[in-house]
Amino acid sequence: MAHQFIQVEREGPLTLITLNRADVLNALHPPAHHELAEVFDVFASDPQQWVAIVTGSGLRAFCAGNDLKFRATHGRQSMPETGFAGLTSRFDLDKPVIAAVNGLALGGGFELALACDLVVADEHAQFGLPEVTVGAAAMAGGLHRLPRLIGVQAAMGLALTGRRIGAREAFALGCVNEVSPAGAAMDVARRWAQQILQAAPLAVRAAKQVMLRGLYETTLRIAMANQDNYPAVSTMRASEDYLEGPRAFADGRVPGWRAR
């Protein structure tokens, strides 16, 4: 499939998605959102694709958020149901997505990173929700995900001021998994992806589903009581891989995962 605003590559079970609007710091407009929604639809449904990495083209930005100049000249346009970049309102994706933040991650760009499961940030990366400085609010999930991730007080400090933070501060707050050397965010993200790809794919999806769904149960007791009913858990336990793991461990060999 040809894409105008993004690049998509596949390396075995790994999908690489690059926002390709470097001339506007990879800011996204509705046509790009719809392209990304289609790409994530394909990734979600393809049994051969297990992990995705999202990054930005060029050296300056991961994603600078909404393309406000496009909006100023074209007015309001439709967004996909799955949200900013086709991901921020996608709540049924159990496959892991990694953000390789290679520069600015502002507004929707920060919200895109927050919607990913792991975040690797270049040491020069910057994060922020500057929407309040242009008369708006971060409505693509940032105002909900950020306080859940770093706490209400720290999130308020960012959301109400629009200030930017660097990669090291983002790591200290808990919204970045690892800070990479300059220019190495993609390499570090690949390393994380390869570690995930060594695990059983259905078990990885079950772990993600249990963790995210459990956060919205009212108590820990209820979360643990309900986890056996989650679809990804049932699929994992019914799979051949659920038996292959212990067999491989007992035999002292590398498991051969069959389920996709």
Closest CA to 4 of 14, 15, 19, 16: 19
The number of C-alpha atoms within 13 Å of 111 and in the hemisphere containing its C-beta is 27
Q: Both tokens of residue 73?
A: 């000249």
| CB contact at 8 A, 121 and 170 | yes
| CB contact at 8 A, 62 and 19 | yes
String of DSSP letters for 102-128: -SEEETHHHHHHHHSSEEEEETT-EEE
Q: Which residues are catalytic?
A: 111, 131
Gap between the Cα atoms of 74 and 71, Å rounded: 5
Distances from the Cα of 21 to the Cα of 6, 29, 62, angstroms: 8, 10, 10
